[in-house]
A and B are shown apart, each in its own frame.
Chain A
Amino acid sequence: MKFLRLLLVLVALAALPPAPEAHAGERPLPDPVEGSRLFVRKGCVVCHAVDGEGGKIGPDLGRVSTGRSLLGIAAVMWNHSPIMTERIKEVKATRPKLTPEEMANLFTFLTYTGYLDVPGDPKRGADMFRDRGCARCHGVGGSGGGIGPSLDRFKRYVSPISLATAMWNHGPQMQTMMQQLGVVRPQLSGGDIADLLAYIRAAGRGGPEGAIYLLPGNPQRGAQVFEEKRCATCHGGRDAPGGIGPSLRRTREGQKRGLTEVVALMWNHGPAIWKKMAELGIPVPSLTGQEMADLVAHLYSLHYFDEPGRSDRGRDAFASKGCAACHGPAGRGGAGAPDLTKTLGKASPIEIAATMWNHGSAMAQEARTRGLPWPNLEGRDLADLVEFLRAGGRKK
């Protein structure tokens, strides 16, 4: 049965430590569904909403965590740990403890939320379909041109993946035809594609009833597609920049690069991409819908990985942020604080995130007792600190 082959690994890769192969066999893959349940079970929902649903005491995590990396989310939780402890007391709740697995599921859930685009506006889509020249070639619901195929067949697809796949696969022919007809190639944003699909879904005619949903893309398979279709030739692999095209992993902190945005970028840069591929003798790859879904999931998940930190910066941060006051200059403990090179030196980022959260309350209490300010961290700082502790508290 089809549903047996489901995979709950959507952004699974994203929550794994930097050396996933070392842990993949030991832990179940992070699961956004379980993450959403934990969000309720652990009481996060009492204070926080996700995209409007949930508590109003804390910020809406669907809005503030989108686009952040794993350590970026961990840093935000750390920074707000003291105030969260206070708020939790006010609502007479218990500060939840989280295992690394639970933390991975929660982070995966929050990250997955950003992957989902909001439905488009059919009225805007109708205007765009007419004004940007789509209607010159394509018909929807019996109106529009007949040069290209009718787009009614996309009526059943709720996700823009199928439309995006067709736009990619037929891109070169469309480009040729547009040039012949003198149609200016429209530049699209992610929202534009969602609007176009909303219009097609509202105005399309014919075909069987019922919406078709896709299983979310699998970033691991997407990484394979990225290699197999030779995208990596220009854009580089996950850890190595390509050099010819831009690196696809960089987005500004806090900026979302959702599914339709990735698709819009592929459309907008299509002619440049095809030209470069022709120069390099690489055939323009044809993608199936599932390959496109996986590829987009892969590209989306890239921002979740933190660039490796630097031990020297980590040492500076360890001192300047006040960590050294309790844990010693090399992080090896002292003044009643544990040796972090032992407890965290070999930990994965998600384990570090869980440890920081679980001990956050006690540390805040200790900091208050000692009159120390609570250190504010960025994701970048945490990556550096991780490297510093991995190096055994030594500057490499």
Chain B
Amino acid sequence: MRVTRRGFFGWTGAVAAAAAGAQTVRAIGDLQAATYEAELPPRGIEGWVASVCQQCPGGCGILVRTITGVEDGVKRAVKIEGNPYHPISRGSICPKGVAGLQALYDPDRLRGPLKRAGARGQGQWQPVSWDEAIATVVQHLRDLRARGEAHTLLLMAGQVRGLMQNLLLRFLEAYGSPNSLSTASGCEAAQQTLLLTQGIAEPIAYDLENSAYILSFGASLLEAGWSPVRQARAYGHLRQGTPGRRGRLVQVEPRLSVTAAKADEWIPVRPGTDGALALAMAHVIVSEGLYDREFVDAWTFGFEDWRDPAGTTHLGFRSLVLNDYRPEAVSAMTGVPIQTIVRVAREFTATRPAVALAERGAGFYTNGLYNRLAIHALNALVGSIEVPGGTVTQRRPPFTPLTPVTRDAAAVRGLAAPRIDGAGYPALSGLGAAKNPLASSALPSLPEALRTGSPYRANALFLYYANPAYSIPEFTRNPELLDAIPFIVSFSPFPDETSRHADLILPDHTYLERWQDDPIEATWGPAVLGLRQPAIPPRHQTRHTGDVLIQIAQGLGGTVAAAIPWKDFGEVLKESFREVAGAQRGLIMTTPFEEARQRRQADAGFWLPTYKTFDEFWNQVAERGGWWDPAYPFGDRERAFRTPSGKFEFFSQTLRQRLETLARRGPASGGGLEGVLRALDIRARGDRVFLPHHEAPRFVGDEKEFPLHLIMSKPMSLASTRTANHAWLAEIPDVRTSRPWEIAVEINPETAHKLGVKDGDEVWLESPAGRLRLRARLYQGIAPEVVHMPFGSGHGAGGRFAEAWGANPNRLVGGEADRLAGTPALFATRVRITKV
């Protein structure tokens, strides 16, 4: 029998499956063994291509090893390793990165444009030529514009940034639609935290490497956070990076996660009470005078009680925390002992620099934004804002802004329409606006808009790296909601749940086959611009979505074509890099030593390039993997605080201004501010509305009928909804149970005992929204009133493996949202467990 490389991996899968002894797993192993039949690459010439991974948003640098066959001349990618020059990952790589080959050689990937042949959702397709597909799109969009309905085109994008984002938004603007929707809800909430406190509409980022004390509220630092490899490296640096100093990590969350297990201290907290805990710590810090007086006095607003120009006295943060958040009361609410609250608060102020992280665990409740505000207030109390080891804001590559789009009459009319999801402060009109006054995008409101046709009917949808029928709970449960949109185009390279409802699929290349810029976002302070370049030529008749968009724009003609005048995406890319080359700052990615030299040089105010011409610059970027600028302007207060006061605002004047404007102009104006607060389900009144405070969280499901809270996590291997079809990743045993190919529900043994459930029993996990049949795994490290499920598997589409294992917890998640932020409240569902 001939054993091939891919066959070998199939065999290992089969062997592992047999060892596990589960019937379903064995079946999958056999399937895998039968699937990867590609032969070992023939004798050939080796090459290495520097590029950027796209298995998650982390933006790690990779080196792809290629072999070009001597006899057949075909170039094959055979291995992916980390790129030591890339500052995000420095040669490290996570399992998803290694498994990128299985995206490239995915047996189920789409091989060319497809037209729907059967009913929506049936998954019946017929091939179509690119010309015909693009002509179809152009015709639909042209008709829509002609009917004065340009605004009814929706763009839904997930992981998009850099020039592709610019191109998509530019297309929408020229076409005349305000409806750019994002499935990245975590970013949205992080962005609003900075908007309300610092006046910056950008996601918060952290300088973890230089921190000495990390107080993390639910951040997934060592699993599948925003940039897992960078975070793991930062953790290593925290522990051992500075001689003589071992940084401390304290993790607050209801479950002993991987991050909590690696932390110095795990503080279990009741679901939805993270903000209260942070405010009790603030109480200790303020009452004991441990805060950074110099920073608070000079650079914050609303700390003390204050008087406005009309002479009205307002509540300050000091009075708020001293009166409302005594550790004794908060301890009862959160389940955290008083001594722990006091001790951690003191540690946080005594160890500098210290930083408090507010991420998914704390933010996925109906009070998520207020929780984040409370946690970020701790950073202000110790002055850890825009300082080494504190919070930072992501710098961007020096791309020159594109020339303004010329809007024709149809575009002007379309852009004047309110957003369909009611997001966006400038468009404060229509019913939806009352729901999401801060959000730039609010997907939780879309299902209702599609159901009711209000504020208007959506007529077309573009899907770019977005799969809401998997990742947005209401679409997960009711994907047929999408059928209210008469024309759907997906650009996905792979089959997925949402694309099943598309009329056309125009598959993009995989990330290992295309050119693309990759500027990191919300990750770190310095600007980092990776260059994604093809490791091998496209394997199938796929097409770069940037090129397709340009061709659609050209087909539409007029101002839309004029707004996107480039020949292809490659032209935009090179033009943009030309600007970076001429910006007289930063450096081509290089060794840590040389980088330290460059940083030292920049600190002294000089810039000394390694290239003389653009061609030299481009060749070096292609060889090394990208460009970055290590210099970060710590301490630039003007840039850090763009609030009305020019300071960090404990009392958010931005929030006050927006809610009061909404009260005057919005549909709830009959009720004034009171009406707005009711519409947003905010229970606080008076000045507390504008201050960080604990809003009692709302949960879907009656407490008696559904006594348990459901929380989720993303395992390292399933950070993206697209990696479930990579058999190598499914082979990785669960970090706690050591079982591959299994998604189970974790229950506290005490709770399980009461329910008569034993480890390994099959159970029904049920919420008011739905139920799943799962195996139960008992875990001491989860609070008795909480159960946990991993997220990322259990697909209804996406390929033979993706569809064969796991379960999607979103099927159970109810329709609650953080209405202020406009983000889904993924942890706000109660469940119950019954034995099968």
Tell me whether B592 and A216 are in contact (CB under 8 A): no
Residues of B within 8 A of A4 (CB): 612-613
Tell me whether A214 and B610 are in contact (CB under 8 A): no
Tell me whether A216 and B606 are in contact (CB under 8 A): yes
Partner of B609, one of A6, A109, A204: A6
For A210, the closest partner residue in chain B by CB is B398
State whether the Cβ of B836 lies closer than 8 Å to any Cβ in chain A: no
Question: What mask results when residues 1 to 39 of chain A are scored 1 for a CB within 8 Å of chain B, else 0?
Answer: 111101010100000000000000000000011001101
Tell me whether A118 and B604 are in contact (CB under 8 A): yes
Main SS at interface, chain B: loop
State whether the Cβ of B18 lies closer than 8 Å to any Cβ in chain A: no
Tell me whether A205 and B597 are in contact (CB under 8 A): no
Residues of B within 8 A of A109 (CB): 597
Residues of B within 8 A of A118 (CB): 603-604
Partner of A158, one of B603, B609, B638: B603
The minimal Cβ–Cβ distance linking B105 to chain A, given in whole angstroms, is 36
Tell me whether B600 and A113 are in contact (CB under 8 A): yes
Residues of A within 8 A of B600 (CB): 51, 113, 116
For B605, the closest partner residue in chain A by CB is A159
Partner of A2, one of B584, B602, B613, B636: B584
Q: Size range of the interface on A? A: 35 or more
Interface members, chain A 199-251 (any B CB < 8 Å): 201-206, 209-211, 213-216
Tell me whether A211 and B633 are in contact (CB under 8 A): yes
Residues of B within 8 A of A119 (CB): 603-604
A33-B610, A205-B638 are known contacts. Are A214 and B593 too (CB-CB below 8 A)?
no
Tell me whether A6 and B612 are in contact (CB under 8 A): yes
Q: In the complex, A234→B229 CA distance in Å?
A: 60
Q: In the complex, A109→B584 CA distance in Å?
A: 20
Q: In the complex, A52→B595 CA distance in Å?
A: 13
Residues of B within 8 A of A155 (CB): 638
Tell me whether A116 and B601 are in contact (CB under 8 A): yes
Q: In the complex, A39→B631 CA distance in Å?
A: 22
State whether the Cβ of B416 lies closer than 8 Å to any Cβ in chain A: no
The minimal Cβ–Cβ distance linking A258 to chain B, given in whole angstroms, is 9
Question: What mask results when residues 110 to 152 of chain A are scored 1 for a CB within 8 Å of chain B, else 0?
Answer: 0001011111001000000000000000000100000000000
State whether the Cβ of B755 lies closer than 8 Å to any Cβ in chain A: no
Residues of A within 8 A of B613 (CB): 4
The minimal Cβ–Cβ distance linking A300 to chain B, given in whole angstroms, is 12
Residues of A within 8 A of B264 (CB): none
Tell me whether B605 and A51 are in contact (CB under 8 A): no
Q: In the complex, A210→B635 CA distance in Å?
A: 14
Tell me whether B639 and A10 are in contact (CB under 8 A): no
Q: In the complex, A205→B641 CA distance in Å?
A: 12
A1-B582, A40-B593 are known contacts. Are A158 and B604 too (CB-CB below 8 A)?
yes
Q: In the complex, A261→B463 CA distance in Å?
A: 59
Tell me whether B608 and A8 are in contact (CB under 8 A): yes
The minimal Cβ–Cβ distance linking B116 to chain A, given in whole angstroms, is 48
Tell me whether B603 and A160 are in contact (CB under 8 A): no
For B578, the closest partner residue in chain A by CB is A1
For B596, the closest partner residue in chain A by CB is A53
Q: In the complex, A206→B601 CA distance in Å?
A: 25
State whether the Cβ of B664 lies closer than 8 Å to any Cβ in chain A: no
State whether the Cβ of A317 lies closer than 8 Å to any Cβ in chain B: no
State whether the Cβ of A103 lies closer than 8 Å to any Cβ in chain B: no
State whether the Cβ of B306 lies closer than 8 Å to any Cβ in chain A: no
Partner of A36, one of B593, B604, B607: B593
Q: In the complex, A254→B582 CA distance in Å?
A: 37
State whether the Cβ of B585 lies closer than 8 Å to any Cβ in chain A: yes
Tell me whether A117 and B612 are in contact (CB under 8 A): no
A3-B584, A119-B603, A213-B602 are known contacts. Are A40 and B631 too (CB-CB below 8 A)?
no
Partner of B606, one of A3, A53, A202, A213: A213
Residues of B within 8 A of A216 (CB): 601, 606, 608
Residues of B within 8 A of A36 (CB): 593-594, 597
State whether the Cβ of A50 lies closer than 8 Å to any Cβ in chain B: yes
Residues of A within 8 A of B293 (CB): none
Q: In the complex, A157→B633 CA distance in Å?
A: 12
Residues of B within 8 A of A270 (CB): none
Residues on A lying within 8 angstroms of B by beta carbon are 1-4, 6, 8, 10, 32-33, 36-37, 39-40, 45, 50-54, 109, 113, 115-119, 122, 141, 155, 157-161, 201-206, 209-211, 213-216, 259
A-B contact pairs, 12 of them (CB 8 A): A2-B582, A10-B608, A33-B608, A33-B610, A36-B594, A119-B603, A158-B604, A158-B631, A159-B605, A209-B639, A211-B631, A216-B606
Lowest 3 A-B CB distances belong to which pairs?
A159-B605, A158-B605, A53-B596
Residues on B lying within 8 angstroms of A by beta carbon are 398, 581-582, 584-585, 591-594, 596-597, 600-614, 631, 633, 635-639
**Other than the known A1-B582, A161-B605, A211-B633, what 18 A-B pairs have Cβ atoms closer than 8 Å?**
A2-B582, A32-B608, A36-B593, A36-B594, A51-B600, A52-B596, A53-B593, A53-B596, A115-B604, A118-B604, A158-B605, A159-B606, A160-B605, A209-B639, A211-B631, A213-B584, A215-B606, A216-B606
